Copies of this chain bind each other. A is one copy, B any other.
């Protein structure tokens, strides 16, 4: 077997797995959007059967042989797409074979049971009912970290599966910087008059749908390669080439909820369509997303840097007024201010841009303590409120609005939360760089032209797939290593514009 043959075998195997993965993505999308209620137990079995097939493929010993043949060959120039594919296939294969099958099965089962228990616990505000599940998931996750291995600490192994190259030590200073900057801003605006809230409507759902179709298309989401549907929890998924699907949830009293949700998910979808563009990269690492943090940077950039900007509303407000007469008479400045208000609250997913990152700091510090064994599961609710008071200045009256509010830990996803803040940081870095690279970007957006921005993101991020580690990818796009600076400057500028600081 020549190295060339081995490489081609890897491409074919990887692509077939991607095509089977598309079926798995569809089973999941359909479950959240279309599935008749009586079909849920059957769907779980279908997802289980296909997941097992994909796990067997991911640990196929032939992958090891093909990789060895490629690696033994004269080393490919680092930084080429082929070299990146081989490096990333190696990463995926090693990760898959390091986790023993019994552990993978135990984790999947505990995550499934944990989610059901969490739903119940949140509904009933009953942390004790959830605690044993959290304990089991924590122990299994520690076993997983040991199986994967790490240089620093167990948490690093978990975080690295979501954000290659990151560690607790590498994200902690960024998060601390964001926490302090947000705290200073919250303190600064505390006594300033709040922006005027938007009129109470009405915002009929059909009109919202029509507006979202206009806006997602305006931002560059091709209608012939996407869908917009409704689900209880908004999400974005790429089923396969040319098939990006997003969902929203409508609130007839507040059109901005679905709007920012749709723009956020459109950012994810644009990234997915951009790195998986149907050419030879499909089904190889070069046609996949770089990390959760990079994925989130794309959704956040469109949601916050674009759709919560004054230029955006200069173009979009007339479109919105045409759909919602209740908005007549508002100025773009008033709309921009209303959607940029700073209002600390208990719930992460409802948080404004400034308060969002402190929510992540809270979770990061607590999950790190849990994984390290410095915090007992039983002590989580108390620790949550203590830290929440310290970081956000608020404590949850009920665990349902406190440590039970997020799904992540119930799925065993420890190390996931930091990727949200990394996404915010990367979004600000990229937007600052795009603005520098594209003179007149604000004027273009105010004129309804978002194509230059999308093209810049396509060329600098989307088409790079898994070519580089996330920080290197951002650095290559912006010309400097990512820091919290651009995000902090962005938040300060908004606070100044909205609150006159």
Contacts and interface: CB of A to CB of B under 8 A. Distances in A.
A444 interface: no
B20 A227 contact: no
A226 interface: yes
Q: Which 10 A-B pairs have the closest CB atoms?
A: A38-B242, A39-B243, A42-B241, A19-B49, A38-B225, A42-B240, A39-B242, A23-B23, A37-B224, A19-B46
Contact-residue size bin, chain A (C-beta under 8 Å from the other chain) = 35 or more
Contacts of A52: 16
A34 B224 contact: no
Nearest to A21: B46
Interface in A19-45: 19-20, 22-24, 26-27, 30, 34-43, 45
A45 to B, nearest CB: 5
Copies in the complex: 2
Contact of A50 (B23, B43, B282): B23
Interface of A: 15-16, 19-20, 22-24, 26-27, 30, 34-43, 45-46, 48-50, 52-53, 222-227, 239-244, 278, 282
27 contacts: A15-B45, A16-B49, A19-B46, A20-B49, A20-B53, A23-B23, A23-B49, A23-B50, A30-B30, A34-B34, A34-B227, A36-B225, A37-B224, A38-B224, A38-B225, A39-B241, A39-B242, A39-B243, A41-B242, A41-B278, A42-B240, A42-B242, A42-B278, A43-B240, A43-B243, A45-B240, A53-B53
Contact of A20 (B19, B22, B41, B46): B46
A32 to B, nearest CB: 13
Contacts of A39: 225, 239-243
Given A19-B42, A39-B240, 17 more contacts: A19-B45, A19-B49, A20-B49, A23-B24, A23-B27, A23-B49, A34-B227, A35-B243, A36-B224, A36-B225, A40-B242, A41-B242, A42-B240, A42-B241, A42-B242, A42-B282, A53-B53
